[in-house]
Structure 1
């Protein structure tokens, strides 16, 4: 199924949304000129909390972030040190790894990574890792051989993660991107020791360019925007390394019907945060995000199937619900702990069918999602990695008065 990426501006917010057959499947609402995901700073340690083994690091005047001392062990100190222990006043090279969500501060990492469309450069590795979604072993080996010379010719330790998009890309494009990321990384490591606290040494691409990098190239049919400045920025992005994709970029210029009205962007977002989601069978989901976790309840609703054959009826609704939940996780950007209350299945065979189908669905997600367990109460537990704010929060904080 071909996808269209629609990028527009509403109320001074940039709305980047993916459409499949005029249905919104993903959306990202971002505020311009904010402290962005993947930006790299020289931060100063302001406080250390021993009972939760973390530090709070100030990256700009008045902007503090959470720095886990359990997750971060290979620190990049920019001041003279006699040990590897983090102390108040230390200068650290850090990257924003997660956006702040509600009352939680943004999270920082010492494991610098620079994402590209085909590869991601990672500081905490010394080898080349390939996405497990690339099944062709010969192609995996060829890409590794292509990138190996870049690994050998460097004074800084790093590795590469090869993304799914690399499978169909030509070798010249992959090598050019990997070389550019290496140059950026070496520049960062070269200038960082000579900068002061609160210096931003790397500015990540805007979130709508991240969206382009995260979509499979072969699935992306077109990129449409009605904002001239965004069009020029996107054009520059494609001209500098991805010229083969430039033909997909289109500037929408119809003055009678705005791009947001054509694709019903506002209406689609309103629908995307409704608690109730109807299924084609007549069943429905109720999605309730809370501070601690998200709860999803599956109901038979107006299902018009044969209720005498309850077990088959319930399995049919559950399978349809599992597919829809996979879509809603991406559309609403739900993350953290998620509990799904499917309709109870009485036979172990049908429980396994549901589990296998749901596992296959969530494994297609580009964001790490893991099925954890099915409890004795038939509640399915899963987790989805937190990276950006969920849609309901960006709506409440940034977009209109939804």
Structure 2
């Protein structure tokens, strides 16, 4: 298995594509001004306490108030609240919890009104980003995630990832962390910490404690609503969680992002900085790696698979529904039961990929093709579980029902990735009236003449849809060559999969777009 990361940076957002053996498995878009990411810690103010919901609405600076349920306060909320009050009133002058006296745990079945009142300051962490019409979901159980460890303030518990199976290794890690953890802090040991050296774990723990000290310093002078600790950007967070020996290349088309990633990798995996590679070609980076075509084929309502079978994916406010269809695949085999099993197995792998790719959360209902043999239904269930084993989001898969339905619940912490695959009509631009498309080449040449003669551009390139590029360049005496003979300037023509059919743009020698307005 080969993992590659392809990153496209623009002034407004960064788009991150994770490729597994060159197939797109995750796609993330991160706005450059995104201030409400999962893991961010805020000093907020209680706006309303709702006893009927046993919850409170909190002002953290978002346009809609964030939601904090009593069960998300955590057992140590009284200690956290005491600490926040002490820091903001300057009574507590150190980040250390060594001499801090903890309060008793709050009751699991308590009432929100016993802990919170309107206008109270509260330190909270984003548990779910704003989704649809809802504000962020909050938690008061703070945690600071690192490469190998997660630091949990106001706790004394050390827990080890269940994916570490060796009892000797679990004991070693627990004993090691017990000897180096700061007093007043719990630690969660992540899966990637398995068999790591003491120095690596100690360094990671020190980095996490420095972040807590940073939170303390910001908290001393902050007034709500204020972000006091920001989570890593999406790219660095993915590297922190995914970085392993199988990670082969990271391709970036922005020099600043490239340098930031090299510095971050140097801190979490020294010696592996060389996997970060700059991309400087004129072809857009997503076109070069064939990602635009994959995106457009994978994000529509219908998703076709290699065998000819296809999925229909429907979204509602409450749940997602996936229907499996055999399509042309059914004609290839007379045995209906075997045909159904093979289509269902192929679909299970594709559905697992789609869930990660679209970041679909909540309830997902999958209508597989009916199978009579119970052994085949059990096999499908196992395949579905194996296909989702690499999914980092928490999920639960129920066995097939008697109607052949498999239900999945998947953690939703961010808005679902939505990409429009339908394009505006290239002829009418949505107006319903089309100009004569045969005049397109004349229009391009008129603009070319204007750029060369009126704007005096010496070196230009033309970016068009692949079909138009073929029309302009193919043949011995192509239109491109005619332009060269006529204007004594060679115009480079680049094909872009992301362009609509009749879309075109001219670029100058610095690869900046030339305005024709």
* Same structural fold, with TM-score higher than 0.5 when normalized by the shorter chain: yes
Counterparts in 2 of 1:51 and 1:394: CA distance versus 1, 3 Å: farther
Aligned to 1:366: 392
Q: 2:172 aligns with which of 123, 142, 146?
A: 142
Aligned to 1:299: 325
1:380 match: secondary structure: strand
2:314 match: secondary structure: strand
Is 2:129 aligned against 1:127?
A: no
Does the 8 A contact of 2:362 with 2:410 survive in 1?
yes
Between structures 1 and 2, the one with greater strand share: 1
2:71 match: secondary structure: coil
1:353 Cα deviation (Å)?
Answer: 1.5
1:42 Cα deviation (Å)?
Answer: 0.6
1:237-386 → structure 2 map (5 Å cutoff): 237-254=264-281, 256-304=282-330, 307-386=333-412
Moved more, 329-338 or 48-57: 48-57
Does the 8 A contact of 1:96 with 1:109 survive in 2?
yes
Q: 2-side partners of 1:385 and 1:361: how far apart?
A: 17
Q: 2-side partners of 1:333 and 1:372: how far apart?
A: 19
1:171 Cα deviation (Å)?
Answer: 3.5
Does the 8 A contact of 2:330 with 2:339 survive in 1?
no
1:132 Cα deviation (Å)?
Answer: 2.4
Counterparts in 2 of 1:266 and 1:47: CA distance versus 1, 3 Å: farther
Moved more, 95-104 or 347-356: 347-356
Aligned to 2:36: 36
Backbone CA RMSD of aligned residues: 2.7
Counterparts in 2 of 1:168 and 1:9: CA distance versus 1, 3 Å: farther
Is 2:174 aligned against 1:173?
A: no
Q: 2-side partners of 1:401 and 1:198: how far apart?
A: 42
Moved more, 219-228 or 46-55: 46-55
Counterparts in 2 of 1:30 and 1:87: CA distance versus 1, 3 Å: same
Does the 8 A contact of 2:377 with 2:400 survive in 1?
no
1:194 Cα deviation (Å)?
Answer: 5.2
Aligned to 2:134: 104
Moved more, 219-228 or 63-72: 63-72
1:236 match: secondary structure: helix
Is 2:414 aligned against 1:388?
A: yes
Q: Which structure would you say has the larger Rg?
A: 2
How far does the alpha carbon of each residue in 1:85-121 deviate from its partner, in whole angstroms, 9 at most, with x for none?
Answer: 2111111000111111111211111111212222222
Aligned to 1:49: 50
> Structure 2: which 5+ residue stretches go unaligned?
87-102, 104-112, 423-497, 501-517
TM-score by length of 1: 0.89
Higher relative contact order (CA 8 A, sep 6+): 1
1:100 match: secondary structure: coil
Does the 8 A contact of 2:299 with 2:419 survive in 1?
no
Q: 1-side partners of 2:155 and 2:375: how far apart?
A: 42
1:89 match: secondary structure: coil
**Following TM superposition, where does structure 1 have runs of at least 4 consecutive aligned residues deviating by more than 4 angstroms?**
304-307, 393-396
How far does the alpha carbon of each residue in 1:147-169 deviate from its partner, in whole angstroms, 9 at most, with x for none?
Answer: 22233x32x3x322222322364
Does the 8 A contact of 2:300 with 2:421 survive in 1?
no
Aligned length: 394
Is 2:224 aligned against 1:197?
A: yes
Q: 2-side partners of 1:263 and 1:393: how far apart?
A: 18
Does the 8 A contact of 1:45 with 1:88 survive in 2?
yes
Counterparts in 2 of 1:145 and 1:190: CA distance versus 1, 3 Å: farther
Does the 8 A contact of 1:47 with 1:56 survive in 2?
yes
